[in-house]
Structure 1
């Protein structure tokens, strides 16, 4: 049995069972996730139900339900653990969501491998079985999503119809979260159950999709060949100048090449098109993957040499390493099978890489490697070796993006012998909120602020500077602090004036400078008999209440 013919046998109850299963799962997902996005156990339960139910729906069969049930439980437990860690981590770990994504990739690869019996036959698993299950899963999932959309459209039409009779029951029901999740689960399960039982329909859809994609392979192959020739002629330096955009574009082209080449390869030489143009296009696409991924690696490496490692860039390196592995494996398969059999070698490379990457992604999802600590160590080395100046060093990134390891690094820098490094690190460590993206001049010492205090007062100046070193965006160019007198709760009431406006603040002994909490502001209402006038100070008043700022001169 190759894993294609034995699966999805006729089972009339399949649509009903999957509709009930995924409908119940949808209700449970809403129950656990509603108003609990920051509660670890709720998100873990949500992930367990969601991923476990999906795994069961795609694998369970009438005469084979025990092993699929175990597989679904394992998938649910793995994803529940990763969800719990991602939510409970908070800012203690760097980008914990990437570990969760790695888990999704691992379980996504494990699904067709399990369906094909890889857990029993290992690398002797027929490629046809894996190839079939990958495409049937994708097509049945896509078709089920289309059915969910169509079901909601029908429900919307019915709701509008009943509203003509002043009956809003369906509209009110559609607004309830529990109904939306349950209805979507039922619709998805019913459609999936129907499609999973239609072997011929799935096979026909697969053939149609791959035929269409095969046609797209020709212009992409031609374009990539021209691109590589043009780059050789003009030199790759232009890619290194576009380090922010070159890497994702090159990886996207490599991924597209892999998908379209597989559409031509099909699952065997007998199924592959005999058209020589398509065959040469698949060879060109397979050969182009490695140079594309190598150039992407060099592009990212250029950016790392400029700015150092960050947790996101380490994940980017991992993605590029996987892409390079595919490119190298395919190039070796082409060279070894040049005299014949290159198609079969490419297919076997797909199977081997899928199994390896499934395990690799699972390992990455586990809390084994702390990429925040690795990246923080690299950033400290760059600062110590003079690769970046103290003024240009990104202390804020260490505070917010590298987890506890970044803050530990900042704490060490706060004790640095270089007074400027120590002050900037301490200021970043004390930040309560991150500066907005693109803010210029975030690294400022107390001496760097263009601050004027009216009337000048040494104690007020020190208190304001204590605040500004942790909130440098409140005084980008220059600012003036006005002493408005004694605050109601003690201390001084101040106005921090910038070019764009001002902020009222309180400076209290022992607590420092804090923005003043504004109560509810009563806005004037313009009525038919309202008195509108320009009052003293050239401000507009409505019924004696000021509206907006003073009127300036032309």
Structure 2
């Protein structure tokens, strides 16, 4: 008997999801609300994706009420976390935080995967056990992968059709196939249709899972031998070579992850069932018992990096992953000590509890409870305040590129603190968060350009038409933000003919460029000047204001052979 939801209900749900996703996509394309407000945008996208997907993957006629009671608040919780992640994109004119959005998508997928198992378990009459959760997890993963594979193939066919209609110059069909009001609803319905089909083929999913588990059963002893061999040689080689790789802790934790995953895949049944001969069973037994050693090694490596360089987002993730792996490893060790060969008895309870811990952790990292960007910003600023790093050595760009809103807020506070004491670092921060208020359709004015410029020896000696020409050329190269640069107009007699030559310097955080300007038939033309800045000076204004401008005679004169000119570099 078919226990799935009626097809009209599934179609209605898919249509409503398609309308919501199409409207959200259209708002992004046209840059209108909610796309202009990341708090609303990410939360609405999260709910529009999570709620229908969880319903399609878990609800049937017998559990519809109990499942919806769990799915709705869980989806709303995910949406609330999405709103918080969206808030970390503010203020949009200064903050680019795409990495956090990517992390949110990844962690929500894990949380949704774990949550789906518990929703399905609570909605059934079967008591919670690791074996039942294990079976559900493999089924859900395979069904989800099959549905997306079907959607990707379907999407490829649509694009193939659009390309063929382009060849035939039948624009109506090609434009229709590429229109979001067609392909988004079509793909959404395709996913719903695929979920209905694949949820009826549980035997197929179970056979695929059995095939994959059989392969893992063969790989686990191999992994155990590698793990034990590595530990056996470690006392003779030491840890120095491991740390020289720059990713020693990561490699060790990967070994733990694979071992734990393989062990839980192979030993999924009752504790009395042993899938290996006694010798292989003992080999796996020993490798699992020694997993805490890897936790100690990786903890030492992470501690060293934090002690040397403070917290970063990557290191915060390292701590969290280390904590989860250590909980698994030490819990298994306690079970082995207590039960010896019967160590599989507590395995089910440990995995169920740790499943909840993983679920809560994936939710917490998208909340104020575990905001890794905030923790990293506080750690790095604390190192600066404690004198562990100087103001000149401080990594300002990490705050801009990796810490989003938290980095922006921290830099604004630091900027005000060092405004008078460290003008070069103040300017560096100011340029980092330049507001692109002038675009190609609304350029800044010459007056704005002049305000952003320093003139030496004085403004009156720099021709106005030169300033206007330099301003025009600056925008012709597609550079739209004046605030990202400091401009310096230098008027100086370079060839001792009692006439001023003019140099324009464009100073940015990432580079400094300079151009020599001269009149050619009454028109200002520029020539690029090679710049050497070995000390990485990022604020010439202080030097220019002190009149520290000199003419340096070339070490070698240029060479001319007939009409061929050879310019010598210093």
Give me the TM-score of the superposition, normalised by structure 2.
Answer: 0.69
> Which residue does 2:427 correspond to in 1?
427
> Which residue does 2:41 correspond to in 1?
42
CA distance in 1, matches of 2:173, 2:202: 36
Contact kept? 2:121, 2:133, Cα under 8 Å:
yes
Among 229, 234, 238, the alignment partner of 2:232 is 229
> Which residue does 1:320 correspond to in 2?
322
1:391 equivalenced with 2:392 (yes/no):
yes
Contact kept? 2:71, 2:119, Cα under 8 Å:
no
Q: CA deviation at 1:112?
A: 0.4
The 1:423–1:159 alpha-carbon spacing in structure 2 relative to 1, beyond 3 Å, is closer
> Which residue does 2:271 correspond to in 1?
269
The 1:404–1:144 alpha-carbon spacing in structure 2 relative to 1, beyond 3 Å, is closer
CA distance in 1, matches of 2:12, 2:289: 47
Among 505, 508, 526, the alignment partner of 1:471 is 508
Q: CA deviation at 1:308?
A: 1.4
CA distance in 1, matches of 2:383, 2:76: 41
Q: CA deviation at 1:214?
A: 1.1
Contact kept? 1:483, 1:493, Cα under 8 Å:
yes
Q: CA deviation at 1:221?
A: 1.9
Structure 1 stretches lacking a partner, 5+ long: 1-8, 435-452, 486-491, 501-549
CA distance in 2, matches of 1:242, 1:118: 48
> Which residue does 1:75 correspond to in 2?
74
The 1:417–1:128 alpha-carbon spacing in structure 2 relative to 1, beyond 3 Å, is closer
> Which residue does 1:60 correspond to in 2?
59
1:178 equivalenced with 2:181 (yes/no):
yes
1:146-225 matches, within 5 Å, as 146-152=149-155, 171-225=174-228
Cα deviation, 1:451-473, whole Å, max 9, x if unaligned, reads xx999526699964699897232
1:89-100 matches, within 5 Å, as 89-91=88-90, 96-97=100-101, 98=103
> Which residue does 1:526 correspond to in 2?
none
Structure 1 stretch 133-142 or stretch 101-110: which is displaced more? 101-110
1:238-317 matches, within 5 Å, as 238-243=241-246, 245-269=247-271, 272-276=274-278, 279-280=281-282, 282-287=284-289, 289-317=291-319
The 1:179–1:150 alpha-carbon spacing in structure 2 relative to 1, beyond 3 Å, is same
CA distance in 2, matches of 1:155, 1:372: 41
Cα deviation, 1:16-46, whole Å, max 9, x if unaligned, reads 7545533542442132133425533233222
The 1:374–1:212 alpha-carbon spacing in structure 2 relative to 1, beyond 3 Å, is closer
CA distance in 1, matches of 2:219, 2:344: 19
CA distance in 1, matches of 2:414, 2:505: 19
1:472 counterpart SS class: coil
Structure 1 stretch 42-51 or stretch 388-397: which is displaced more? 388-397
CA distance in 2, matches of 1:468, 1:55: 58
Cα deviation, 1:481-525, whole Å, max 9, x if unaligned, reads 54669xxxxxx999884459xxxxxxxxxxxxxxxxxxxxxxxxx
Structure 2 stretches lacking a partner, 5+ long: 29-34, 435-452, 463-484, 490-503, 533-563
Q: CA deviation at 1:354?
A: 0.6
1:337 counterpart SS class: helix
The 1:170–1:223 alpha-carbon spacing in structure 2 relative to 1, beyond 3 Å, is farther
> Which residue does 2:469 correspond to in 1?
none
Among 141, 145, 152, the alignment partner of 1:142 is 145
2:511 counterpart SS class: helix
Cα deviation, 1:71-98, whole Å, max 9, x if unaligned, reads 2222321222222222233256986534
CA distance in 2, matches of 1:137, 1:292: 31
The 1:497–1:266 alpha-carbon spacing in structure 2 relative to 1, beyond 3 Å, is same
> Which residue does 2:20 correspond to in 1?
28
> Which residue does 2:136 correspond to in 1?
133
2:63 counterpart SS class: coil
> How many pairs are equivalent?
465
Aligned-CA RMSD value: 4.2
Contact kept? 1:372, 1:406, Cα under 8 Å:
yes
Give me the TM-score of the superposition, normalised by structure 1.
Answer: 0.71
Q: CA deviation at 1:220?
A: 1.9
Contact kept? 1:30, 1:177, Cα under 8 Å:
yes
Contact kept? 2:292, 2:329, Cα under 8 Å:
yes
The 1:283–1:190 alpha-carbon spacing in structure 2 relative to 1, beyond 3 Å, is farther
